[in-house]
Amino acid sequence: MLRKDGTLWLNIADTYCSTGNKGCYADPKNPKGRTGQRIARNSRVIGCKQKDLIGIPWLLAFSLREQGWYLRSDIIWQKQNPMPESCKDRPTRCYEHIFLLSKEKKYYYDAAAIAEPLAPTTAERYRRARSTNSKYTQEIPGQGKVQGLNRPRDGGYYDDALMPTTRNKRDVWLINTVPYKGAHFAAFPPKLAETCILAGCPKGGIVIDPFFGSGTTGFAAKSLDRHYIGIELNAEYCALARARIGGAGLSSS
């Protein structure tokens, strides 16, 4: 379904290897489970010891690369308000991986749409000339002696219009989680989806989410004038998405 110049933005959680004891668990907000059944639990993984971090995101990313995908970036989604954990022998997790993958070497990517503003110190450096000559210096308050042409340009005209005001977006994104009252515990913040959509899909394009859940991706796509296709097995989650987005373009089939 993905166009040749399309991109895949992949987010999947990691977990730890346990004893492998069998049992059952379910979504605490949906006791019947995502597809209406309780899920068998057996988290023993061949090659992993008890308490090992499995590395699911990277295992999946490497597998996709072996299948021909281009693994272009490992983005860190950092959260200042992560879920608390009861562990006492390791740090609390406060980030997740988002992998940017493409089918082709060249693909659609709008870097300008998600560019970051320049830091004030960077903007100040752009206003200075460059020289390796240390013969002449000028005392600058708070900066000491500035050599040669590195001192501020004296009066006159300076073309601020030519100075860049943004920089390429970095691969650590600080995006906090936001409350969601619906019965879906894994809803991610709209800003996260918006960032991926702005970079990876032009206006009027189509965004596909095969794990639609409560419809965050569709909500973000609609707000950015993109079309969307959402795929979800759980009818209750479809109802949440329909209410959240307003029913436009949603089908119960």
Q: What is the pLDDT of residues 107-131, one digit of tens each?
A: 999 999 999 998 877 766 666 654 4
User: Are 177 and 79 a contacting pair, CB within 8 Å?
Assistant: yes
Tell me the percentage of the chain whose pLDDT exceeds 70. Answer: 68
pLDDT reading at 36 higher than 80: no
The pLDDT tens digits of the residues spanning 90-103 come to 999 999 999 999 99
Partners of residue 16 on adjacent β-strands: 53
CA proximity to 184, closest of 39, 33, 35, 30: 30
What does the pLDDT read at residue 98?
A: 97
CA dihedral 15, 21, 25, 28 (to 10 degrees): -60
Complete domains list, the chain, with CATH: 7-16+53-114+168-245 (3.40.50.150), 120-166 (no CATH)
Report, as an integer, the average pLDDT of 157-170: 74
Tell me the percentage of the chain whose pLDDT exceeds 90. Answer: 47
Partners of residue 173 on adjacent β-strands: 77
CA proximity to 16, closest of 40, 44, 38: 44
pLDDT reading at 16 higher than 70: yes
Contacts with 159 (C-beta within 8 Å, 6 or more apart), sequence order: none
pLDDT reading at 249 higher than 80: no
Minimum mean pLDDT range among 50-54, 97-101, 121-125, 236-240: 121-125
What does the pLDDT read at residue 146?
A: 54
Report, as an integer, the average pLDDT of 28-55: 67
User: Structure tokens of 105?
Assistant: 């070497």
Residue 244 pLDDT level (bands cut at 50, 70, 90): confident
Q: Where are the beta strands (DSSP E) in 47-126?
A: 70-78, 95-102, 116-117
Task: Give the Å distances, CA to CA, from 92 to 17, 18, 84, 111.
Answer: 16, 18, 7, 32
C-alpha 223/C-alpha 220 separation (Å) is 5
The pLDDT tens digits of the residues spanning 193-226 come to 999 999 999 999 999 999 998 899 999 999 999 9
Per-residue H/E/C for 122-153: HHHHHCECCCCCCCCEEEECCCEEEEHHHCEC
- Measured over the CA atoms of residue 21, residue 39, residue 62 and residue 72, the dihedral's sign is negative
Which has more pLDDT, 128 or 245? 245
Q: If you ran DSSP here, which 8-state letter would residue 118 be given?
A: P
Residue 12 pLDDT level (bands cut at 50, 70, 90): very high
